[in-house]
Structure formats: C-alpha cells, structure tokens
Structure 1
Amino acid sequence: MFASTRRILGQFFSKSRKINNEPLNKVSLIVIVLIDIFILVNVFTGLNDISRWHLDPSQAYPCYSDWQNYRTQTNKDSLDKQYEFLKLSFTYDNKTTSTFQQTYQQAEEGNLGKVSETCLQYAQRKDNINNSANQQALKAIDQKQGKISNLEQANRNIRTQYDSTLLEKIAGQSRNQSINSVGAEKAKQALEQNTRTISTLAKEISNLKNELLAKPEILSLIAFVNDNGNFIEVEKGYQQASFWYPSIQFGFQSIFLLPLIIIALLVHNFAQRKGYGLVSLISWHLLVIFFIPLSIKVFEFLRFGAIFQFVFDIISAIFGGLLFLISYIYILLIPLIGFGIIKFFQKVVFNTKAQVARRVQKSCCVKCAKAIRHHDSYCPHCGYYQYVECQNCHNLTYEHLLYCKQCGHSQDLINL
C-alpha cells in the first residue's frame, strides 16, 4: 500500500513539474504557481458567491428570530414584555426610506427562494406602527426613563454622603470639619424629593405605555405575535430550511465545480493524445486546483449537511446525551470515504492499464503518450522501454496490458 501511494505521489509531482518529461525551469515554475494561486482564489470566490444564491433560513424567514426572542422572554410581566418588543419594532433612522416589508422582499432580488408570507404580513404590521406619533411617544418615555436613571444615581450619591455625615455627627465632629458638602438634614430632604419625582415619572411612564399599547395598529401587531398559530408554519419552515440549506449550498457548489473539472479533464486527455505538453501541464494543474475546493466542500457537507444531521438524530435517539459518539463515527467514516475517492480516481479516472491500452492502439509511447513507430523498443521522446518479458512464454509484450500479445497469458502477476 505504501509503495502504491509513493508511486501515485511520484507520478503526481512528476506530472505537475514537467513538460514532455522535461523539468520546468524556475521562472516557468513560478509562473505556474502564481497562476494556480490566482485561479484557486477565484474558484473559492465563485464558490462563496454561488453558495449564497439561495436564500438562507434567516432571509427566507426573517420574522422567526423576532418571534423566538419575544416568546422566550418569560421573566418580565406582560406590559414590559410587550413594550420591549414594541421598541425593537421601531426604526429611528429617518434617512431610511425602505419599509420592513420592502427590506424583507429585497432578499429575493437576484436570489432563489421566497420570503415567508407570514413574515411579510408581520412586516406590514410593523410598518403600520412606525408613524411619527408613536415615535414621539417612545421618545417621551425614553426621556422620562433617562430622568429616573439620573435621579436614582443622584440618590445613590446622596445616600453615600448621608451615611458619612451621620457617622461624623455621632462622632461629635463639627460641621465645619465635615468632608461632605451636604448636611444630613438637606441630604434627607433631597432623597425624599427625588423619590417623589421618581414615583411621579414612573406613573407617567406607565400611563404612556398603556396609551401606546392601546392603539389599534399596535394591538394588531401584538395580537399577531401572540397568536402562535401564525408562527407554527414559520417555525417548521425555518427548521426545515436550516436542515437542507447546507445540502443546497453543496449542490450549487458542485454545479459550479463539476463543469470546470470535466472541461479540464477533457482538455488534459486531448493534450496528452496530441502531445501538447504545455497545454497538458496547465490543464493538469487546473484539474488539481478544481479538485481541492471540491474535496473541502465534500468534507464540509459530510460534517454539517443532511448526512450529519441524520447521524446526529440517530445517535440522539439511541444513546441520548452521548453525542461525542458522532466524533467516533466521523473518525471512521471520513477516512473510508477518502479511501473510496482515491480508489475511484486510481481505478477509473487515472487507470494506468486503460491509458496504456489507448496509447498502444494509437501507436503511442506507453509512458509519455507521444507517437512512435510500431517496432520502436524505446521511446525517442522520453527514452522509456515499451516492453516487458512474459513470465509464461518469455517473449516481449507491452507493459501494463492485461494479456501477452504472443501467448495470450494473463499479465496480472507481472503488473503487480
């Protein structure tokens, strides 16, 4: 196995560094490497672009996160929960001319997929509440809340000084020697005044919130969000989209890469048959470059795609919380898949016996594929010896072919 791997790697590097079995000079090698890097960067750029062609779950169901956040806020009372949700539904940027509905629909432009109809209805209700009167009411509440925060901070500072003043008074220290600017009596008065103001502002804020939440357009939005029936389909759609999205991405990436691989392979085979050394070298490099991202994307799909989710669900159902077993499965599965890919290309795509059979039929060198005369024992282009001795009849026959051309005996033992 190691000898076979070493031979494959040797052939790979030989094909990557030589033109017509002649080593590339340093300048040509640098140019080839720069071309490889440039093409590889553009291939990954194209893969990134095409992977975003289809709407991702958050674009197809943009209202799901809002509804999920609203549903999970169980530590607040109904009024605060509705008001916090309402604040997030407003836009304060006057320069923005697009509505929520238009913003959701813009995701469809130039992409595949559709935005959820429920989310568009949700966006329409959010647009209805975004008027100047409601925005002014929110600003008034925020201003009053800011005043309360300032007064509470002032009270904390006063309490600190008040406690220190009391200690000085108990110790019998004179007021002139005090380090505090406010006396105990004045501090107490200020605390009481600020507390009354805070209470008044809190009542005003509560009234404003109740008035705001009682408006018809806001009641419509809150009722729409509270009706879980509106979002059952959204939740199912979002979860299904999340499950299939990696597979969809991999499908589009494969559509992008496979034509490039097929074209590079056809050009490479044609160049080898015709003896176009430079074209053969460049097409070989392109073939390798196109296979690099494909291999990466295959392993990403196996790690995050539908297959991973399928394995995850099975292990979760059988072993419960022992999810670390997924890592064991992938440690075994990935090498097996990699081994299968290597065997496929070794036996099908780059099969030595199949290549030699085609070259012998066209009177070409079994090594470099250049045209030679039928009776030539050595290739005049690369110097490779064309024959091997048959172990049955001891006559010369072509290397790597299945049967001896003299006696027809199987040559499998020779070619091992």
Structure 2
Amino acid sequence: MFRQIGDFISVFFTKSRKINDEPVNKVSLTVIILIDLFILFNVFAGLDDISRWYLSPSQAYFCYSPWQSYQTDTRQDKDFIIVSEALNRSPNIPEYEREYNQNKLGKVSPICTDFDNLKNQINQPNNKQIFTTIETKQKQVASLQEKNRNIRSQYDSTLLEKIAGQPSNLSINEIQAQQAKQELDKNNLTIANLESEINNLKQELLASNESVNFLNLLNAQDKFEAVKAGYERASFWYPTIQIFLQLLFLIPLIFISLWIHKVALEKGYGLIALMSWHLLVIFFIPLLIKVFEFLQVGVIFKFLFDIITVIFGGLIFLISYLYIFIIPVIGFGIIKFFQQIVFNPKSQASKRIEKSRCLNCGKKIQSHHNHCPHCGYYQYVECENCHNLTYKFMPYCYHCGTLNEHRQQ
C-alpha cells in the first residue's frame, strides 16, 4: 500500500508540471496556477450558492423560533407582547413570501404560512390605533414616574433641612415637604388611572377577532408539536441534502475534466492534458472536503452515533476511532480509482511503447529490458497464437499480428 501511495504521489507531481514528459517553463506554470486559483475560487462560490438552493430549516419553519419563545415565555403580558410585535411589522407582506419563496427547493410549512397570515391580519387600522394610544399613555406614565423620582429626591433633602431647623426661604429645593407630598399623591393617582386605561386598551386589543385567531393558533399545542417535529427532522436532513447538492455540482465537472484528460492523452495534446489534469485536481479538492464533512454531519454521523450509543453507552469518542480506520480506507479507494482510470497502463500503453517507457510507471527503459529497473514490472505477455513474447495491453502481437483476447496477465 505504501509503495502504491508513493508511486501515486510521484506520478501526481510529474503530471502536474510536465507536457509530453517535458517540464513546463516557469511563466506557463505560473499562468496555470493563477487559472487554478481562479477556478478553485469559483468552484467554492458555486458550492456555496447551490448549498443555499434548498430551504434551510429556519426558512421552511420560520415560525418555529418565535413560537417556541412564546411557549417558554413566563411573563404575564406575553400575549400583548407578541401581538404588539405583529403591529410593528410592514403590513400585508407575508414573511414567507418576502424572504423565502425565491425559486428554491423545498416548501414552507403550511402551519407557518397560517401563522404568518394570522399575524399579518392583526395589523389593521383599528388595532394600530389602539396600540398607538397604549404607547402614548405608557410614555405619560413613564414621564410621571420620572417626575416622582425627582420629587422624592428633593423631598428627602427637604426633610433633612427641616430637622436641621433651616428657614424655608434658604432651602435649595424647589418644592416644600407638604407640597411634595401633594404632588406625589396627584401623580400617583394619575398613573393609576393611566395604567387602568392601558390595561383596558390591552384587553380590547387582545379581544379583537384578529388577535383571538392568532393567539388560538399559538396555544394549539398539537400545531406547535407538528412544527417542532418538522423543524427537527429538517435540521437532521439539511446537512445531507446540502452535501448531496454540492456533489451534483462537482461530479459532472470531475467526469468532464477526466474525459478531456483521457482524450488529450490518447491524441497527444500535451497542453490540454496538463490543464485538464489541473482541473481534475482542483475539482477533487472540494470533493474530498465535502466527503469529510459528510462523515462529520448528517446521516452517516447520526447512524454511527446511534450505534455507538446503543452498544457502548456514552463512549462517543469511539466514533473518532471509527473515522481513523475509515478515512485511510477511503484514501486507498481514491488512489485505486486514479490508478485504474486516470493512470491505467492499458490506456497509456501505446504512447509509452513508442517512447520506450515502462508500461506501469512510465519511466524510461531500454527496448531489450523485460522488467522495468524502476518498478520491476514485466513488460511482455505470451502471444496466444505464435507463443512469442509481445507487449502487454496492446491488441495485436507484433510478431504474427494476431488479435489477442487476453493481453494482461
């Protein structure tokens, strides 16, 4: 295995900087590298764009987060708070249409669509007027409370002056103790009346048909559980779907560049073979990254996580052990893929024979060498017709011209 990896690395670097086995000049290599960087940038940009093609869980179930916040809210006025949020929205523009319905795969939850429509219906002129009145009265209450704080601070100082026997005409405070108490009582009475009016207005707002319909949906536990289950299911599958879409983007590019590379090798188009080889490498870089991501998230990770949990309980670190063994196997498979398809001696045999090169490793050998001195590979096979030695992988015997059915042994 280590010898195969070494041969693979050697061939990799040779193919990356040579045209027809001749080194590329530095200027040309620099241009090729700049092209590689430009293409790599665009590949990652394309991967990012296609990964957003499918609706994310927060888009498909956009109502889940505010609904969950409402469910866990313990404040007494949580109904008024969520209704007031609806009154602060831009009217008549459903959120799911404004943000998420943009020619994407997947669909928005129908329950979230109802959630948004009912929330949008609250934003009516009469409800808006009630809410504006509530805000105005709340500002009046806040202003009176601020005045009371100032009066109390002066009241405490006035009491100290009175205890000290200081004449009232020498006081630094604008309000005397008796006057301060009267002012505080008056303001508190006004605040109480305003708060009572505010509570009545809140009840009136919450009693409107639009608010009642929206709050009924919020308190329908079965609907919330359905949204919650859909959101969790979407969150589980979303990373896998993203990676699948990204593979759909990458795999055609890999096969096209691989096909161009093979044709260029067969036709002897050295520059095209070099550039297509670089493209192949560029496309494989994000592919490997996405494969590793797929092993860390999504279905496979969840599958391994569940197996480890059932068998070994909390020993989740064992997943790392599995990956330590799995990743080398995947790497070995990639190397075998390149050896069988990209570096397949059968497809390269003709040109290597013409240039007196080893059928296996491609290095220069003498015509009378039966075995390659670099890799030890035996170059010949016995002809089925005349039984003389002829080149492996070549369709016809160079002694008798017979077509050989089994050219590799």
Whichever residue aligns with residue 255 of structure 2, its letter is I
Which residue of the partner structure matches residue 216 of structure 1? 209
Which residue of the partner structure matches residue 79 of structure 2? 82
Q: Do the aligned partners of residues 4 and 139 (structure 1) sit closer, same or farther apart at CA in structure 2, a change above 3 Å counting?
A: same
Distance 2:163 2:178 in 1: 14
Whichever residue aligns with residue 87 of structure 2, its letter is F
Which string of whole-angstrom CA distances, capped at 9 and with x for unpartnered residues, describes residues 370-413 of structure 1?
A: x43xxx4799xx98225796xxxxx55695646764799xxxxx
Whichever residue aligns with residue 31 of structure 1, its letter is V
Which residue of the partner structure matches residue 384 of structure 1? 364
Whichever residue aligns with residue 93 of structure 2, its letter is S
Which residue of the partner structure matches residue 395 of structure 2? none
Aligned residues: 382
Which residue of the partner structure matches residue 244 of structure 1? 237
Distance 2:184 2:5 in 1: 84
Gaps of 5+ in 2: 383-387, 390-409
1:282 paired residue among 259, 275, 281: 275
Which string of whole-angstrom CA distances, capped at 9 and with x for unpartnered residues, describes residues 220-272 of structure 1?
A: 21112211122332222111111111111111111110010111111112222
Counterpart secondary structure, 1:350? helix
Residues 1:99 and 2:90 aligned together: no
- TM-score, structure 2 as length reference: 0.82
Map 1:54-65 → 2, pairs under 5 A: 54-65=54-65
Q: Do the aligned partners of residues 397 and 14 (structure 1) sit closer, same or farther apart at CA in structure 2, a change above 3 Å counting?
A: closer
Gaps of 5+ in 1: 390-394, 409-416
Q: Do the aligned partners of residues 234 and 388 (structure 1) sit closer, same or farther apart at CA in structure 2, a change above 3 Å counting?
A: farther
- TM-score, structure 1 as length reference: 0.80
- How far is the alpha carbon of 1:345 from its aligned partner? 2.3
Are the aligned partners of 1:100 and 1:126 in contact in 2 as well (CA < 8 Å)? Answer: no
Distance 2:341 2:258 in 1: 15
Which residue of the partner structure matches residue 52 of structure 1? 52
Which residue of the partner structure matches residue 264 of structure 1? 257
Which residue of the partner structure matches residue 218 of structure 2? 225
- How far is the alpha carbon of 1:35 from its aligned partner? 0.9
Whichever residue aligns with residue 72 of structure 1, its letter is T
Which residue of the partner structure matches residue 294 of structure 1? 287
Which string of whole-angstrom CA distances, capped at 9 and with x for unpartnered residues, describes residues 80-107 of structure 1?
A: 12111111223444xx65234643xx62
Are the aligned partners of 1:377 and 1:385 in contact in 2 as well (CA < 8 Å)? Answer: yes
Are the aligned partners of 1:397 and 1:404 in contact in 2 as well (CA < 8 Å)? Answer: no
Counterpart secondary structure, 2:103? coil
Which residue of the partner structure matches residue 392 of structure 1? none
Distance 2:238 2:147 in 1: 53
Q: Do the aligned partners of residues 177 and 294 (structure 1) sit closer, same or farther apart at CA in structure 2, a change above 3 Å counting?
A: farther
Counterpart secondary structure, 1:191? helix
Are the aligned partners of 2:357 and 2:363 in contact in 1 as well (CA < 8 Å)? Answer: no
Whichever residue aligns with residue 94 of structure 2, its letter is T
- How far is the alpha carbon of 1:117 from its aligned partner? 1.7
Whichever residue aligns with residue 336 of structure 2, its letter is K
1:204 paired residue among 197, 200, 208: 197
Q: Do the aligned partners of residues 197 and 53 (structure 1) sit closer, same or farther apart at CA in structure 2, a change above 3 Å counting?
A: same
Distance 2:297 2:41 in 1: 23
Q: Do the aligned partners of residues 404 and 225 (structure 1) sit closer, same or farther apart at CA in structure 2, a change above 3 Å counting?
A: same
- How far is the alpha carbon of 1:47 from its aligned partner? 0.9
Counterpart secondary structure, 2:235? helix
Are the aligned partners of 2:365 and 2:372 in contact in 1 as well (CA < 8 Å)? Answer: no
Distance 2:299 2:164 in 1: 76
Counterpart secondary structure, 2:223? helix
Counterpart secondary structure, 2:230? helix
1:146 paired residue among 139, 145, 148: 139
Q: Do the aligned partners of residues 176 and 4 (structure 1) sit closer, same or farther apart at CA in structure 2, a change above 3 Å counting?
A: farther
- How far is the alpha carbon of 1:11 from its aligned partner? 3.1
Q: Do the aligned partners of residues 2 and 168 (structure 1) sit closer, same or farther apart at CA in structure 2, a change above 3 Å counting?
A: farther
- How far is the alpha carbon of 1:295 from its aligned partner? 1.5
Q: Do the aligned partners of residues 153 and 299 (structure 1) sit closer, same or farther apart at CA in structure 2, a change above 3 Å counting?
A: farther
Are the aligned partners of 2:43 and 2:283 in contact in 1 as well (CA < 8 Å)? Answer: yes
Identity percentage of aligned residues: 45
Q: Do the aligned partners of residues 296 and 262 (structure 1) sit closer, same or farther apart at CA in structure 2, a change above 3 Å counting?
A: same
- Note the aligned Cα RMSD (angstroms): 3.2
